[in-house]
Structure 1
Amino acid sequence: MRMLKKLLNKSVVITGASSGAGRAAAIEFALCGAKLTLAARNEEVLDEVAAECRRLGAEVLVVATDVTDAKAMISLANAANYFFGRIDVWVNNAGVLAAGPFDEMPMAMHEQVIRTNLLGYMNGAHAVLPIFKAQKRGIIINNISIGGFIPMPYGAGYTASKFALRGFNEALKAELTPWPYIYVCDLFPAFLDTPGIQHAGNYTGKVLKPAPPVYDPRRVGKAMVDVAVRPQATRYVGSVSVLLKLAHAIFPQTMANATAGMVRTYLKQADEISKTDGNVYSTVNYGMSPYGGFGWPGKPRAHRKYIAAAALVGLATGLWMVNK
C-alpha cells in the first residue's frame, strides 16, 4: 500500500519496455498507479504492453524510440513531459547483447552494442536532466546488470559498454551533488530469465543460455519501484550479484579466466545454430514476454541451492589461490 500511495499518478518513463525487465517494470509501476510513458523500437509490441498496463488502471503513452538517436530521446522526454505535465522517474533499461570471439564479430556490431548500452543511457540522462533541473527533482534508474563489474569473455563489446556505463554514472552522481533531490540509482541484477539472450547477436554458432541461477525479471521491476520510492545510489538485485562482485574484487583474473573456461566448455557441448545479428541493429518480433523460459516464472527468489553452489565455488577459488 505504501508503494501504491507513493507512486500514484507519478510520471514514469521506461525505455526497453517491450520485453524482459522493462516489460516487467511497466507492469509493476502500473500496479502502483503510475502514469507510464513506454519506449522501445517495436511499436506494435509496445501497444500490447500498454494495453496490459491500461487493464491494470494505468494511463499510458507509447513513443516508439531508438535510444541510440539522441534527438529521438529528447523528443521522448518532451512528449512525456508535455503529456503528463512532468517526469518523476526515468528508467534507462534498453540494452542489447552480442556474443562471439571478439575478432570474428564485425566491429560495427561492437559499436552498436556500445551505442545502445552506453550512449543510449547517456542520451536518456541528457534528455531528462534539463526537465529534472527545472523541476528541481527527479529520479534516474539505470538497469546496468552485474556485467558492470564482471567481465564477460566472448562478449567484449558488452563488457566495454557496461564498465563504461558504471563509470559514467559515478561521474554523473558526483556532478549532481548540488541538486539534492535529483537521484541517479544504479541497479546490478544477476542473470535474469528474460528473452535478452534469445535476442542476442550470436556469432558463436551455438545456442546460448544464461548461467544459473536465473532470477525472475519481476524482481528487477520491484527493485525499480522500490528505488523510485526510496532512492539508492547502488542496488544489487539477488544474492548472486553480490557474491560475484566480491569474488571478482578479490580474484579478478581468476574469475575472468574461470568464466572464459566455463563459456568454452559450454560452447563445445551446446547445439549448433546459425549465426545471427539478433536485435542489435533492428527490432525483432519474437520472444517479447518478460520471461525467456530459462527459469520458473513467478518465483521471486533464486533457488537457494544455486546460491549455495556459487558461495562454495567462491570459497574453493579462494582456497586454491591461497594454496597456489
Structure 2
Amino acid sequence: MMKEIRLTGKTIVITGASSGAGRAAAVEFSQYQPNLVLASRNAEVLEEVAAECRGFGAQVLVVPTDVTDAKAVIQLANTANDWHNRLDIWINNAGVLAAGDFDATPIEVHEQIIKTNLLGYMNGAHAVLPFFKSQNHGVLINNISVGGFTPLPYGAGYSASKFGLTGFTESLRGELTSWPEIYVCDLFPAFLDTPGIQHAGNYTGKQLKPAPPVYDPKRLAEAMVNVANNPQSVTYVGSTSLVLKLSHALFPRLTASITDMIMRKYFKVAAPISSTSGNLFNTVNYAMSPYGGFGRPGKPRAHRKYIAAGLAAGVLAGFCLTLFKK
C-alpha cells in the first residue's frame, strides 16, 4: 500500500526548474500545495512555471540561480529558508550535456559540464546541509541518471560528472550515518523525453536524438514526489535503468563497446548539423517545456519490446563472451 503523501506546507527547492525533468517535477509537486522554490538561470521561463504551479495551489518563489556559482547557491538556500523559516527538501536537478569526440570537444566545455553536473550538486548539498543539521531533518534528492553507472562514449565530460556524482553521494550518505533523519536519495532515470538533448552542446557534426526507449519525464517527477515523502537511498526509474545497471556491472567493457558501436552507426545516417555549445554557458529560450517530443509519453508498454530485446542481447553477449574466454 502506498504511503500517504504529505508535502503540504513543506519548503522544496528545485534547481533546473525551467524545462525538462525539473519543470515536470515543479508541476507534480505543486499539486500537493507545498512552498516551492524554483531555481534556474532563465528567470523569464521560471515565472511561467511558477504561474502554472500556483494554479494547483502551491506557493511559489522564483530565485534565478546559476548552480556553478557557490555563493549564489548559498543565497538560494538562505532565501528559501527565510521564506517560511524552514527548508525541508532540496532537489539537485540542473544538468547539461555535450557530445563529441573527447579531443575534438573544447576543454572548457568539459569543464563547464563538470562545474554544472558535479560541482553544482556539491554546491547544493554544501548550502543546504547546515539547515538540515540545525533542524535535524531534511531530504536531499539527486537526479543522477543512468549516466551515473553507464559510460557514454562521445560524452566523456558528462560521464565524468555523473560517475563523480555517484561517488560523492555515496560518500556523503556514509558521512551522514549519525544523522538518521537526513536522507540522501539518488534517482537513476533511463532516457527521458525532455528537451535536454536539444539544449546540449554538440561537436559531433550530427543531429542528436535520445536512444529508445524514451520515458515520460512525469515518471521521474512522480518518483521525486514519492522519494521526498518516503526517502529511499537509490531509486531506478524505468526498467531500462536497472537493465543498464546490471549490464555494466556484469560486462563493463562490452557494454561500453556496444554503446560505441550503436552511436557510430547512428552518426553515419544522422542529419548533419553545425557545432554548438547549446545552453552550456548561457541560458536558451527554445524548447523549454517538460517534453522534447522524442517519445510516447504515458505509454510505458511501448518500451517493453526494447527492454526484452536489451535483456536478450545482454544475455547472448555474456554467453558469447564466456565461450570466447574458454
Report the TM-score, using the length of structure 2 for normalisation: 0.97
Q: How does 1:125-144 map to 2 (within 5 A)?
A: 125-144=125-144
Structure 2 partner of 1:21: 21
Q: Deviations over 1:206-259 (max 9, x none)?
A: 000000001100000000000111101111001111011101111100111111
Which letter does structure 2 place at the counterpart of 1:75?
Q
Specify the alignment match of 2:286 in structure 1: 286
1:180-202 C-alpha deviation (Å, 9 max, x unpaired): 10000000011000000000000
C-alpha separation between the residues in 2 aligned to 1:47 and 1:252? 43
One-letter amino acid matched to 1:167: G
- CA-atom RMSD in angstroms: 1.3
Secondary structure of 2:130's match? Answer: helix
- Distance change in 2, residues 1:300/1:133 (3 Å): farther
* Runs (4+) off by over 6 Å: 1-4
Aligned position for 1:314: 314
Give, as a single letter, the amino acid of the residue that structure 2 aligns with 1:197.
I
**Does 2:30 match 1:30?**
yes
Superposed displacement of residue 282, structure 1: 0.9
Percent identity over the alignment is: 66
- For residues 140-151 of structure 1, the aligned pairs below 5 Å read 140-151=140-151
Does the 8 Å contact 1:137/1:182 carry over to 2? yes
Alpha-carbon deviations, 1:6-26, whole Å to 9, x = none?
111111000000011100000
Is the Cα contact below 8 Å between 1:187 and 1:236 reproduced in 2?
yes
Q: Aligned equivalents of 1:102 and 1:304: distance in 2?
A: 33
1:315: how far off?
Answer: 1.4
Query: Matches of 2:6 and 2:301 in 1, distance apart?
Result: 25
Q: Which runs of 5+ in 2 are unaligned?
A: none
**C-alpha contact (below 8 Å) 1:66/1:72 kept by paired residues:** yes
Return the offset for 1:298: 3.4
Matched residues in 2 for 1:57 and 1:3: separation?
22
Q: Is the 8 A contact 1:148 1:166 kept in 2?
A: yes
Find out whether 1:104 has 2:101 as its counterpart.
Answer: no
CA distance change for structure 1 residues 167 and 5 in 2, over 3 Å: closer, same or farther?
A: closer
Distance 2:227 2:145 in 1: 15
Rate the CA distance shift 1:201–1:262 in 2: closer, same or farther, 3 A.
same
Aligned residue type for 2:268: K
Separation in structure 1 between the aligned mates of residue 100 and residue 312 of structure 2, nearest angstrom: 29
Conserved 8 A contact 2:3-2:230? no
Cα distance in 2, alignment partners of residues 10 and 194 from structure 1: 27
Question: What is the CA-CA distance between 1:316 and the residue it aligns to?
Answer: 1.7
Tell me how far apart the structure 1 counterparts of residues 309 and 207 of structure 2 sit (CA, whole Å): 24
Contact 1:96–1:113 (CA<8 Å) still a contact in 2?
yes
2:206 counterpart SS class: coil
Q: How many Å apart are 1:296 and its aligned residue?
A: 1.4
Equivalent runs, 1:118-267 vs 2, <5 Å = 118-267=118-267
Q: Distance in 2 between matches of 1:309 and 1:290?
A: 28
Displacement, 1:118? 0.1
Cα distance in 2 for partners of 1:3, 1:20 equals 27
The amino acid that maps onto 1:28 is E
**Deviation of 1:2 (Å):** 7.4
Deviations 1:85-135 (A, max 9, x none): 211100000000010000001100000000000000000000000010111
Change (3 A) 1:251 1:273: same
Instruction: Give unmatched runs, 5+ long, in structure 1.
Output: none
* Partner secondary structure for residue 75 of structure 1: helix
- Number of aligned pairs? 324
TM-score normalized with structure 1 length: 0.98
Q: Give the partner amino acid of 1:239.
A: S
